[in-house]
Structure 1
Amino acid sequence: MDMREVEPAAAAGAGEGVELVYEVTTADLAQAIRVRSRATPALRRQRWLMPLLGVLSLLLGGSTLLTGRGGSKSLMFLGMGLLLCAATLYGPRLQARAFAGMLAKAGRTRTVVDACGIRVTTQLYSSRMDWSAQPVYAETPDAFITLDIDKRAAAMTILPKRGIQVPADVDRLRELLDANLKRI
């Protein structure tokens, strides 16, 4: 799909919109996954529970290994503890890398944020979301991330600041998001 075919926000009757043109990277996605894990209650529990279980497994495995009573169970607990700790540290990056092929196929993304919501167009798809679809957002130094924090949903939209065409539009985008979404 040729990105020039997409109508601008003003022509769509959406009023003053902010346009972003960018390619989503695995670093963007990993950052969004981290933000989402801090925003949803179930993932917040997982953020402290996994390292806690990892450390407890390491302590249990280490103590049984040192006392000589554990044998293969000690190694199992040590391995499980290392795995849980590694998953906590590297999980978002690994999840993002799993989507690298899809991100490459999507290519350049054009997003228009206006009073009606968010319209995302890539080489593969085009979608329009009302503000209610992802009712909260977070701002990081590099991006705005809109989220659906429902525990059964994994919806998020990444709006990298590097994709904003006019520097003053960063503030306009923040104003649009503040007016329509809850900031977390």
Structure 2
Amino acid sequence: MSVGPEGVRTVHAHADLRMGWAGYGSYAESSRVFALPSPDKAGRCAIVLVERGARTLEDVDRLRALLDSRLPRA
């Protein structure tokens, strides 16, 4: 999984899935994860980014800055 200026991308053996920032309504951060719910009021789907998946604390800070620039905090 990768996160960049265009959105979130998940690649595995049988698929390459991309979701632009418009596919997420906001984001929330806990002590361990970032949660990105869908923009519908029911929040029927979400993606969870686990902070321990980052290589360094600086990577977590960069992810937070990217999310802040693209999505409102919930």
- TM-score, normalised to structure 1, is 0.37
Q: Tell me, yes or no, if the aligned pair for 1:134 and 1:148 is still in contact at 8 Å.
A: yes
Q: Secondary structure at the match of 1:178?
A: helix
Asked whether the 8 Å contact 1:134–1:155 carries over to 2, the reply is no
Matched, 1:138 2:28: yes
AA at the equivalent of 1:139: E
Unaligned runs of 5+ in 2: none
* Map of 1:160 onto structure 2: 50
Aligned-partner Cα distance in 2 for 1:168–1:118: 19
Structure-2 separation of matches of 1:127 and 1:180:
19
| Structure with larger Rg | 1
- The answer for unaligned runs of 5 or more in structure 1 is 1-110
- Residue type at the aligned position of 1:155: C
Higher helix share: 1
What SS does structure 2 have at the residue aligned with 1:182? Answer: coil
Instruction: Report how far residue 123 of structure 1 moved.
Output: 4.9
Q: TM-score, normalised by structure 2?
A: 0.86
RMSD: 1.7
Aligned residue among 112, 117, 134 for 2:7: 117
Structure 2 residue 70 is matched with structure 1 residue 174: no
| Aligned residue identity for 1:161 | E
Change (3 A) 1:117 1:166: same
Deviation beyond 4 Å, 4+ runs, structure 1: none
Structure 2 counterpart SS, 1:171: helix
CA deviation after TM superposition for structure 1 residue 149, in Å = 4.0
